[in-house]
Structure 1
Amino acid sequence: MSLRLLADIGGTNARFALQEPGQSAFADIEVLACADYATLGEAMRAYLGKAASRGLAVEGLRQAALAIANPVEDDRVSMTNHHWSFSINALRDEQELETLLVVNDFAALAMSLPHLTAAGRERIGGGLELPDRPIGLIGPGTGLGVSGVIPADGRWIALASEGGHVSFAPANKDEVAILEALWREFGHVSAERLLSGMGLELIHWALHDERLEAPGITGAALDGSSAACRRTVDTFCAILGSVAGNVALTLGATGGMYIGGGIVPRLGKLFTESSFRARFEDKGRLSPYLARIPTYLVTEQYPALHGVSALLDDQIAPNRGA
C-alpha cells in the first residue's frame, strides 16, 4: 500500500511525515525551516527527496494532507505569518497527487484531542472531564490558534476558527496600560497581538519600555535573572487564562480546554505555577461553570499530524467503493 504525505505547517517550521494508511505510526518525520524554501511545493519536494534517499518508497505517493497556520476558505491560500501563497488545485497537480487536503492547522490539532493518551497531555488545575462533550483548544506560537471539536453521530467535527484575532480585553490596570500602549502603535489590538512570540515582546516593551526578543525574555524568566522578564511571562500566562476561559464559554467546552502551540511547553513551572488557571475561572457569575472544566497542556510531540491524518481518512472514506 502506498505511503501518504502529512504535514503541519506553521509560520516558522514545516513538519513533514509519511504514513501508511490504516496505521497510527509515522514512517518518517522531518522538520524544515519555512524560510529556507521559496514555496511550499519546493519544501514538499525537498522533504520527499530526502525521504527517498533514506530508502522510503515515495514514488507511488498519491495522497497528501496539509495542516497550515492560516484560514483555508477557497482554492487560494496566502499565509498570514509567512510569505507562502499557493493554489490548492495547482499544488495538487504540480505534486502529481490524486488527493490533496489542506486544512487549518488548529482544526487538525483539535481533531487529535479526543484521542490523546495520558502521556500526551498534562492537567493544569481541577475540573471534571465529561465524555462526548465539546472540547476547546487555544495555542500561542508564531500566532494564536483557536479551535475545538464537537461530537456528532459517533464522530468528531473539527472547527476551523480565526478566534485568535478577537479583540483583547484587559482585566486589570497593568493590562489597560498595555492595551493603551498598543492602541497607539497598532490601532486594533487582538488577542494574538499579545499571545504569541511577538506578544511576549510587546508585553515586555509596554510594561518595561525595553525591547527584547521572546527567547531572551523566557530565558531570563526561567533562570531567574530578570524580575522584569518574569513579570512579562506572568502577565502573558494570566492573559492566556482569560482568553482560554472565553473560548471555553463560547464553545461550552465541558469536555475540556486544551493549550497547544510552541510557547507554553517551554515555560515549564512558570506556566504551571502561574495565575493561568485562576484567570481561566475568573468569570464572575460563570466562575463555578469554568471551575468544572478541566484544562490540559498538550505534550504530545506531533499531535497535528495525527489530527490531519484523521481528517484525510474522513475525506477519503466516502469515496471508497464508489
Structure 2
Amino acid sequence: MSQELRLLADIGGTNARFALESASAGLADIDVLACADYPTLGAAMQAYLGQAAARGCAVQGLRHAAIAIANPVEEDRVSMTNHHWSFSIEELRVQQGLATLLVVNDFAALAMSLPHLGLDGRERIGGGIELPNRPIGLIGPGTGLGVSGVIPAGGRWIALAGEGGHVSFAPSSKEEVAILEALWGEYGHVSAERLLSGMGLELIHWARTGKRLEAPAITGAALAGSSADCLRTVEAFCAILGSVAGNVALTLGATGGMYIGGGIAPRLGKLFTGSAFRERFEDKGRLGPYLARIPTYLITEQYPALRGVSAMLSDHVAALH
C-alpha cells in the first residue's frame, strides 16, 4: 500500500474498529480492538498502527485520519458517555503527528453510508417502497442507542448528528407501562436507550421477571429456545424497537427508507426478522398507511460506518483546499 494511506476508525463503547484506506485499494487491514484494553484512544490508535506496520503496511507517511465515535461531537473536548475515554481533538491530532483529524458522531458516519449500501449489505424487513432522493432514517441499539439520518441536498447527502437515543421512552402496551414504572423507580428519567441497548435487554428482563441476567445470556437462551422468559424479553425488545423506529421515521419523513444498525439486532436472526418489529413500526394510528409505505432494512454489511466516515473525511479534506 502506498503513502496515500488514511486512518479510519469507528469507536463504540465496547469495540474500536480501525482500517487503513488508499485511493487505489480502498479499505484494508481492518482490525477490531477492545476499548477496555487501552487507557486512552491515543493508545489504541498507536497499538493498531504498530500492529499494521508489523503486517507490512507503510503507516509512516500517514497524514489524514477520521474517527467516528459513539458520542456527541460539538467542541474540541470529547468525553465518551459509554466509556471512560476523554480527549482533545487538537491534542490528539498533534500527538499522532497528523495534518488532519476529523472526529464525528458514529451514527452520522453510519448514516452517510446508507445511500451507498448494496443489496448484499442490507436485509428488507416487511413491505414498503423506497423513494429516491428522500430522507433516510437510522436507528441502532448496541452498547447505547444511536439515532441519525441523511438528507439529500443537491448532488450530495448531509448526515444528521443528534442524540435521539435519549428521548423519553413512551410505552405502547400495559406490559411496557409496567416496565416503565419499574424503571422510573430506579432511574427517574427513562430514555429509549435505557431499554434499547445491551443494558436495556437486561433491564427489560429484570422488570418483567425480577431476575438479573446479562444480555448475552438472555439472547443466547432465546435463540436456543431454552427459556420462555428470555424469549419474551427479546420479543418485547424488538417490539419497542419497532415503535421507536416508527417515531424516527415520522420525525424525519424518512420515505427513502428506515435502517436498523447496531450490534444487537443482527445477532437475533429470525427472532428479529419474525418479531413484532414491523407491526409496531406501522402502528401509529392515522399515520399507519404512511409508515406502511416506508421500507425497513437491517444493515448486514460488517463495517459500514468506516465507509461513511471515509466519505466525510474526503469532503472535509476537499473543503480545506
> Structure 2: how far apart are the matches of 1:314 and 1:58?
22
1:23–1:113 CA distance, 2 compared to 1 (3 A)? farther
Q: CA deviation at 1:24?
A: 6.7
Q: Does 1:8 align with 2:10?
A: yes
Following superposition of structure 1 onto structure 2, how do residues 45-84 of structure 1 map, counting pairs within 5 Å? Answer: 45-84=46-85
Following superposition of structure 1 onto structure 2, how do residues 172-321 of structure 1 map, counting pairs within 5 Å? Answer: 172-320=173-321
Q: Indicate conservation of the 8 Å contact 1:198/1:214, yes or no.
A: yes
> Structure 2: how far apart are the matches of 1:319 and 1:5?
18
SS at match of 1:270: helix
Number of the residue aligned with 1:111:
112
> Structure 2: how far apart are the matches of 1:303 and 1:133?
20
Q: CA deviation at 1:141?
A: 0.1
Structure 1 gaps, min length 5: none
Q: CA deviation at 1:27?
A: 2.0
> Structure 1: how far apart are the matches of 2:223 and 2:25?
35
> Structure 2: how far apart are the matches of 1:113 and 1:168?
26
Partner AA of 1:258 in structure 2:
Y
Partner AA of 1:111 in structure 2:
M
Cα-to-partner distance string for 1:149-173 (whole Å, 9 max, x where unaligned): 0000110000001000000000000
Following superposition of structure 1 onto structure 2, how do residues 149-164 of structure 1 map, counting pairs within 5 Å? Answer: 149-164=150-165
> Structure 2: how far apart are the matches of 1:38 and 1:106?
24
Q: Indicate conservation of the 8 Å contact 1:24/1:306, yes or no.
A: no
1:229–1:24 CA distance, 2 compared to 1 (3 A)? farther
TM norm structure 2: 0.99
TM norm structure 1: 0.98
1:119–1:88 CA distance, 2 compared to 1 (3 A)? same
1:106–1:24 CA distance, 2 compared to 1 (3 A)? farther
1:128–1:23 CA distance, 2 compared to 1 (3 A)? farther
Q: Indicate conservation of the 8 Å contact 1:200/1:236, yes or no.
A: yes
SS at match of 1:59: helix
> Structure 1: how far apart are the matches of 2:198 and 2:56?
37
> Structure 2: how far apart are the matches of 1:6 and 1:277?
34
Q: Does 1:148 align with 2:149?
A: yes
CA RMSD of aligned residues (A): 0.7
Identity of aligned residues (%): 81
Structure 2 gaps, min length 5: none
SS at match of 2:233: helix
Q: CA deviation at 1:319?
A: 2.6
Question: Once superposed, which parts of structure 1, at least 4 consecutive aligned residues long, lie more than 2 Å away?
Answer: 22-25
SS at match of 2:39: coil
> Structure 2: how far apart are the matches of 1:243 and 1:119?
26
SS at match of 1:237: helix
